[in-house]
Homo-oligomer: A and B are copies of this chain.
């Protein structure tokens, strides 16, 4: 009948072994990637025994998934919750693209604002995971994102009824890709940090710039496609004839 039923090793809840491992793994996976990060470096940073990872998580891969799911799951749930609320508020009129983008970006920004440490680390880790070739990572992310993406796709489809479904799928894919890649960038963030040392958060600046950029691409008329495509074809033909 005490306060908590979970284990406690040194008397303080938040420093439990499992959480300390997750925190250390989050930072190290972000910094070096999955393959290049050893369990020994994680357990050393977390100041726990080497066997603790396999005991609590089963394997290195399951630890990685636990690191991702700890923050990714709530973030995606918050995204659809925000989208639901916006749709309720705007009902019966369809949502604007701007508000849909806001629902997509704000939960990430909340992580970038960093409740304490770790939020920004996680965003970078997520961006890197999105480009990792490991099959179990790609499978995991596909499952985690599938529902949310489908939900946003129908929302965008209502906001852009003139856009063919296929074209919308591609543009949404570009948006998620640019978002992931932007969050994964290391050099650029550090470069921005040097130029803007006093602004709130680097990830925040980045996302605020990215949102209008992607919004313009999303709302671009279909005319531009054939226009640029024709230019590309011309240049390709010219180079082929060369």
- Which stretch, A45-53, A56-64, A215-223, touches the partner chain B? A215-223
Interface assignment of A133: CB less than 8 Å from any CB of chain B: yes
Q: Is the interface of A mostly helix, strand, loop or mixed?
A: helix
Q: A177-B182, A213-B220 are in contact. List 11 more A-B contacts (CB 8 A).
A: A33-B33, A33-B132, A35-B36, A98-B231, A106-B235, A110-B239, A133-B186, A167-B209, A171-B209, A177-B177, A215-B220
Q: Which residues of B contact A224 (CB under 8 A)?
A: 212, 215-216
Can you list 28 pairs linking A and B with CB atoms under 8 Å apart? A33-B134, A35-B36, A36-B133, A82-B235, A98-B231, A102-B232, A105-B232, A106-B236, A109-B236, A110-B239, A113-B236, A131-B131, A131-B181, A131-B184, A138-B187, A167-B209, A170-B206, A173-B182, A174-B178, A174-B182, A174-B210, A177-B177, A177-B182, A208-B232, A209-B225, A211-B228, A212-B217, A215-B220
Chain multiplicity (copies): 2
